Amino acid sequence: MPPQTFNLKLEYRIFAAIKRMNKYNRNKICILQIIVPLHHDKTKRKINSPTEYKMTRVIKFTKMHGAGNDYIYVNTLKYPIESPEKLSVEWSAPHTGIGSDGLVLIGRSDKADFSMRIFNADGSEAKMCGNASRCIGKYLYEYGLTSQTAVTLDTLSGIKILKLHVKDGKVNTVTVDMGRPTDMKEQPIEANGQKFTGTTVSMGNPHLVIFVEDIKDINLESIGPKLENHPLFPDRINVEFAQVLEDGKIRMRVWERGSGITQACGTGACATAVAAALTGKSERKTDIIMDGGSLAIEWDEKTDHVWMTGEAVRVFDGEMIINDE
């Protein structure tokens, strides 16, 4: 755009008109902001660069959590997002953003009813998240995107089936078919001068499960990043420390790849249950207790599929203004 000269006669009624337009049409239009220096005189001024124009949009989001594993959810059918990696870092920040474990995008799919993309707090993309899939089930039903109680979800780790348990028009819990576990292997590993025996399990994303006598003795903040970035795992790995309790339930804490310590991890809970069954520490059906809550996990012997059941909670709705480059 060539330099143009404007006679700046900005009046309050113009700003009021722009605000009214923004309020009633914010979902449909972009707001053109003309950035100019303010002067006391009324002479002609020049806008010398097209970079002085910014296009802004309002994005509506919903903050949700499953067992304390919280994400920001955006319906990209209405609010397309071009740079989710960047926004996930900015919005996940606890003090300067919304605060979350990452960003989840709900979209279209030609393979399933809907699609899910997950971005961690560091901007990296995850293949699967069990807690996020349950929250998406609740979102789809309660925000009117579906009236079905069985929904298919297209993820980077395949198609997942969500079974919504509805009472009085609200989704209380969701059961997710997490598929078959793969890449199961027990192996020794050392980090921070400590030696462990861990079990690797993939639930669409990789996990290292380590059983200990007392989980309180584990400094997860220190050992977590060492194991996540261990040379044995060039693509990094999620890390779970677990303790089998007297009642057969399993207490677990998680260090998530790309996010660090989180309140819960759905795929991590599934991996922990599978590892426990593989090593004879529990039956195929158990409860996994995490910092943020519990999940019921069943590794079905007939189908070899892992089923996860747990709550999904809406925290609040909000809006963010983004600048389109």
Residue 265 among the catalytic residues: yes
Q: What is the SS3 string spanning 78-123?
A: CCCCCCHHHHHHHHHCCCCCCCCCEEEEEECCCCCCEEEEEEECCC
30, 135, 265, 270: the active-site residue: 265
Beta strands 238-244; 206-211: pairing state: parallel
Measuring CA to CA, which residue among 144, 185, 140 is closest to residue 160? 140
Instruction: Tell me which of 30, 129, 135, 270 is the catalytic residue.
Output: 129
3-class secondary structure, 232: coil
Which residue is listed with tokens 């069954």? 277
d(CA 153, CA 56): 31
For the question of residue 270 being annotated catalytic, the response is no
CB 178 within 8 A of CB 307: yes
CB 237 within 8 Å of CB 257: yes
Give the active site residues: 129, 265
